[in-house]
Amino acid sequence: MKRYFLLVFVAFITTFCVNAQKKVKNLTVEEFEKGSQTTGVVILDVRTPEEYQTGHLKNSKLLDISEQSFSASLDKLDKNKAYYVYCQAGGRSSTAVEIMLEKGFKKVYNLSGGIAAWKKAQKVVEK
């Protein structure tokens, strides 16, 4: 019985530690802006093409999370680069970051509040 309890305990701790490592890193507008200006990072906009056309962050790449090809598109990206991900309000980008972490990406950051927070902070948006 003690062995069974110990086995269950070890399995629980292992699962907890693995999940803790995959926590989404939410950044403020200021943190996101500073980090996204670093050389070599990739800014991903996971909104729809229609949303992207209404305004997007400079140098961002569109990768629509609602497309069936989203997961396959992620597989083509360099997992060693840093990715700064945003959407309209932060929900879809948070999901995208979780998926990326599960796929083995190490440096992935979510813009808390999305482009709406970016605009509210009066940051530059391109059309």
Concatenated DSSP letters for 16-32? HHHHHHT--EEE-HHHH
Note the pLDDT of residue 11.
Answer: 47
The verdict on residue 36 lying in a domain is yes
The verdict on residue 29 lying in a domain is yes
The verdict on residue 51 lying in a domain is yes
Residues 6+ apart with CB under 8 A from 37: none
pLDDT values of the chain reduced to their tens digit, one per residue, 127 residues: 554 433 444 444 444 444 444 699 999 999 999 999 999 999 999 999 999 999 999 999 999 999 999 999 999 999 999 999 999 999 999 999 999 999 999 999 999 999 999 999 999 999 9
3-class secondary-structure state, position 96: helix
Q: What is the CATH number of the domain that holds 63?
A: 3.40.250.10
Strand pairing category for 42-45 and 107-111: unpaired
Tell whether the torsion through CA atoms of 76, 82, 88 and 93 is positive or negative: positive
Amino acid at position 26, single letter: N
Note the pLDDT of residue 115.
Answer: 99
Residue 95 lies in domain: 23-120
Place of tokens 């970016």: 118
CA 10/CA 29 separation, integer angstroms: 39
Q: What domain count does the chain have?
A: 1
The verdict on residue 27 lying in a domain is yes
Residues catalogued as catalytic: 87
Note the pLDDT of residue 22.
Answer: 65
